[in-house]
Structure 1
């Protein structure tokens, strides 16, 4: 049997009405959202269903919304076809989704943790002006070099290595603006400022990692035999203590997505299945390795096609 990896996206793919087609097919999914809102005194369900968009973009809502969509997509597929992954991986908050997929976390606990994670990431910055930007064109080494040069005027780091030609930078407003200026002069194809709730994956939100580590101690992490590929080092992990350490570190560390995908390909994965809205990771995959086979479950509509594709591999 060919090796399979399940992949889960991070922030940025949220939209009003997300996951509603899955909810229409399964009342248990609706109950999960209703119970989440009751326990956390939130209106996540209403926000996902009706907006407003500004509220859905707040990271404390975006994170549980994306995770929920990803996991109900997964559960909907597994209801129709028996399938076990050899590896799981997720981009940033998607690592929590991956830990639901391999049995380490329950859906409810994971939603709670990423809701808190979102709150912590927004609160940790101490009101210092911040920015994030996507850099298209230069390779990751070049982007890192210019971040180091720009650090003379303010903290700026490479936050997400999304593809060989797309790196997201994060940090202080001055540092990010200087890095963008230098990279534009260098000849970057595009420099895109991002609308975000904080300087994610940068040292400026170090406190969020500490708070998250404390919060995770309240949650039961189950043992697993299915490795998760950690964002912080692109290595497989099954030890729950190490998984928790990596999740806390991940808040201020770079997301090594390109390295994670290369690890999976090098270790025999022949089919990637993405679960979550808008097929974001499939788009990245084409830039990382266009020969890799990836299929995406982002709606009820995609289920049948994905089932047919999977049958060719199992």
Structure 2
């Protein structure tokens, strides 16, 4: 069985799709590549921000839950999402830009051997920018145009996801013994001891960073992460991974058709929700590349409910 290829996407929660769209496109300069709905609850938006082509490994997605309360941070959580930039110089560009935009941002620090910059969006979503200077083994995506963000400093994909757990052994068992990651590093951080796990070529697009903490369990809300999705090539590989997850004794969703990709979901014993997702067919199934994200896209099984669904959704700027 082939290795997991890296991170596929990260899905989080927002209470306001319009302000979310403004932050991730206007401030961070990402492209809205798919404006669709939660297929399990079509009354809510599901927004996908990514690189120019909506490439696997670049998607930061959000479910809109207007009544979502605040997040009470803690363990048993996906505590931070990594985003990649091409160089150390880009980190300093973002430090200056985010301060001017009055975004909550820290100081550049070395993390797992790379220069990084921690920030939070307007809802407290925790993000860390990672320089590719020493972490580009897994190819990044292609920058999207933005009038105020030069291409050489733009965000080009997802970096390492950070998990915070009480029992390192439980999550390590899944990463190493089920998903075939390897342990490639570790260090002490302000948040606690951190262990680095890598798959495939490793580097920024193929790492999970796990922090061990005795904090109480996180109570999720707006600004929290719902799940971490990992990349597999196609549905045949996904079926092989399902067998491996079954054999390891983890309950799972079975194969789920998401139209733009095919998925499987399961939780580790710390409650972390993982998804395995195929690289294709991709977001140009129902929109040409140059028009991605410009209209509400619905998978075929929801198309007959379009009028009903559109009446429940508040228009956002991209409409």
Normalising by the smaller structure, the TM-score range is: under 0.3
TM norm structure 2:
0.27
TM norm structure 1:
0.27
User: Which structure has the highest helix share of the two?
Assistant: 1
